[in-house]
């Protein structure tokens, strides 16, 4: 298949006119103009923009399904839904539930990783149980536990090493060895933490390189107490997740983060099962969540994940003044790097997977290829 006359975001995230040839799910040729024959399947993309397929590394559910349901059919419905939103690769994300439920969820995800229909599962994001009760957010407190590398290693080995990212509240790591050991296996993220600037910086020195849903469930930034947010801003080796639904973070703060952290923003959905569904109620881990007018909350008003998706977030970001190139990079190449898959996915380049999203002039999705 050859796409001609398209505007593309190339491997350097520059907009330019180019043709793309794909074969056997890979990009095999990329040039200003490609030759072709009558036998070739040619798609004229004049007036359209082709960007890399979106990579959501923090998504709990959608279309009525949740990762912690440990239901393969539900995961497949979630994958098919995500593909309609331009997501071609994702990490199903667990919650703070019992060890038995986590293990079962991990095994279910592994059983679905070879599926061809829907967005491709590329690993698991393990959010919880190693978090702080003081910043639990929408996580249930019954199963919160202190970081324990032996427990994590049992999860990791038990699922065949598909965990790509694990969260930790560093102040709860009593033994002080979790980050250093776990970072040799996957990306370690600071999350749901009451630690301060110094505590976060110490965690980064030990090997944490990621911050989960930046600004949310962590200490904020003031001029005298920079907190976790200030530590992330101040550490060039750390990427921060942003949920760009207009609810979790004010657009002005989003713009500030993009200016402060060029190339270090991961846009995520943090979506729960009611994403793609009408307003109503559904479970997130052990908690009942109510969704009204696009806002997901617990009974006490605590924000509980989101019902957004990366495509809607892309449109939000551009409307808030973030250049298209930067917005797309933050939901493609940067998250792919964070889970160690940037050689395979995340940008349009020869040899990479042909994960492509075709957008019209209004950033609406015309087609998704993967």
For 212-263, how does the pLDDT look when each residue is reduced to its tens digit (9 = 90+)?
999 999 999 999 999 999 999 999 999 999 999 999 999 999 999 999 999 9
Which strands make up the sheet holding 280-284, listed edge to edge?
280-284, 287-292, 295-297
CA 97 to chain centroid: 20
How many angstroms separate the CA atoms of 152 and 252, rounded? 37
Instruction: Give how far Cα 210 sits from Cα of 190, 205, 240, 251, 326, Å.
Output: 6, 12, 6, 21, 19
User: What pLDDT does residue 139 have?
Assistant: 86
Please provide the average confidence, as pLDDT, over all residues in the chain. 96
At 303, is the pLDDT very low, low, confident or very high (cuts 50, 70, 90)?
Answer: confident
User: What pLDDT does residue 79 have?
Assistant: 98
Question: Is-cis flag, bond preceding 129, omega within 30?
Answer: yes
At 150, is the pLDDT very low, low, confident or very high (cuts 50, 70, 90)?
Answer: very high
**Mean pLDDT along residues 139-155:** 95
User: What pLDDT does residue 97 have?
Assistant: 95
> Is the pLDDT confidence value at 286 over 90?
no
User: What pLDDT does residue 86 have?
Assistant: 98
Of the candidates 310, 356, 334, the one whose C-alpha atom is nearest the C-alpha of residue 6 is 356
User: What pLDDT does residue 299 have?
Assistant: 86
All structural domains of the chain with their residue ranges:
2-50+358-369, 54-345
User: What pLDDT does residue 345 have?
Assistant: 98
Compute the chain's Rg from CA coordinates: 20
Taken in order 229, 331, 140, 111, the sign of the CA dihedral is: negative
pLDDT in tens, 39-52: 999 999 999 999 99
> Is the pLDDT confidence value at 288 over 90?
no
**Mean pLDDT along residues 309-316:** 98
**Mean pLDDT along residues 148-155:** 98
**Mean pLDDT along residues 77-82:** 98
Classified as helix, coil or strand, 166 is strand
Identify whether the C-beta of residue 254 lies closer than 8 Å to the C-beta of residue 214: no
> Is the pLDDT confidence value at 282 over 90?
no
How many angstroms separate the CA atoms of 78 and 59, rounded? 10
pLDDT in tens, 1-25: 999 999 999 999 999 999 999 999 9
pTM score of the predicted model: 0.97
User: What pLDDT does residue 42 have?
Assistant: 96
At 300, is the pLDDT very low, low, confident or very high (cuts 50, 70, 90)?
Answer: confident
**Mean pLDDT along residues 126-143:** 92
> Is the pLDDT confidence value at 270 over 90?
yes
User: What pLDDT does residue 129 have?
Assistant: 97
**Which residues are identified as catalytic?**
270
How many angstroms separate the CA atoms of 56 and 90, rounded? 5
How many angstroms separate the CA atoms of 317 and 308, rounded? 13
Q: Which residues 6+ apart lie within 8 Å of 291 measured at CB?
A: 274, 277, 279, 280, 281, 282, 297, 307
> Is the pLDDT confidence value at 200 over 90?
yes
How many angstroms separate the CA atoms of 149 and 39, rounded? 56
CA 126 to chain centroid: 12
Domain 2-50+358-369: assigned CATH number: 2.30.40.10
User: What pLDDT does residue 271 have?
Assistant: 96
User: What pLDDT does residue 285 have?
Assistant: 78
How many angstroms separate the CA atoms of 177 and 282, rounded? 37
CATH classification (class only), 54-345:
alpha beta
Of the candidates 54, 39, 37, 43, the one whose C-alpha atom is nearest the C-alpha of residue 20 is 43
DSSP labels for 276-340?
TS-SEEEEETTEEEEEETTEEE-TTS-B--BS--HHHHHHHHHHTT--HHHHHHHTTHHHHHHTT
How many angstroms separate the CA atoms of 14 and 257, rounded? 21
């Amino acid at each position: 298949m050859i796409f001609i006359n398209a505007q593309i975001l190339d491997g350097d995230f520059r907009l330019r006119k180019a043709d793309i040839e794909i074969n056997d799910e890979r990009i095999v040729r990329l040039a200003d103009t490609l030759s072709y024959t009558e036998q070739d399947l040619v798609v004229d993309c004049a007036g359209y923009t082709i960007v890399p397929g979106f990579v959501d590394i923090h998504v709990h559910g959608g279309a009525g399904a949740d990762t912690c349901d440990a239901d393969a059919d539900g995961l497949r419905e979630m994958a098919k839904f995500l593909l309609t939103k331009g997501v071609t690769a994702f990490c199903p994300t667990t919650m703070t539930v019992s060890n038995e439920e986590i293990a079962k969820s991990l095994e279910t995800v592994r059983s679905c990783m070879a599926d061809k229909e829907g967005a491709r599962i590329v690993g698991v994001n393990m959010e919880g149980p190693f978090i702080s009760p003081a910043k639990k957010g929408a996580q249930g407190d019954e199963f919160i536990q202190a970081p324990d590398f032996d427990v994590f290693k049992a999860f990791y080995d038990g699922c065949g090493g598909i965990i790509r990212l694990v969260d930790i509240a560093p102040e709860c790591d009593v033994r002080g060895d979790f980050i250093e050991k776990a970072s040799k296996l996957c990306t370690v993220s600071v999350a749901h933490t009451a630690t301060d600037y110094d505590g976060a910086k110490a965690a980064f020195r030990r090997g944490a390189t990621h911050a989960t849903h930046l600004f949310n469930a962590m200490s904020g930034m003031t001029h005298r107490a920079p907190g976790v947010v200030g530590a992330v801003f101040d550490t060039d080796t750390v990427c921060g997740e942003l949920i760009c639904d207009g609810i979790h973070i004010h657009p002005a703060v989003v713009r500030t983060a993009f200016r402060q952290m060029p190339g270090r923003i991961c846009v995520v959905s943090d979506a729960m099962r009611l994403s793609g569904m009408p307003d109503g109620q559904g479970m997130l881990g052990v908690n009942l969540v109510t969704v009204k007018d696009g806002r997901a909350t617990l009974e006490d008003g605590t924000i509980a994940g989101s019902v957004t998706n990366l495509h809607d977030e892309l449109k939000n970001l551009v409307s808030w003044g973030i250049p298209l190139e930067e917005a797309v990079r933050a939901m493609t190449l940067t998250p792919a790097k964070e889970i160690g898959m940037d050689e395979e996915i995340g940008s349009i380049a020869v040899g990479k997977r042909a994960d492509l999203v075709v957008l019209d002039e209004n950033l609406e999705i015309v087609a998704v290829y993967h």
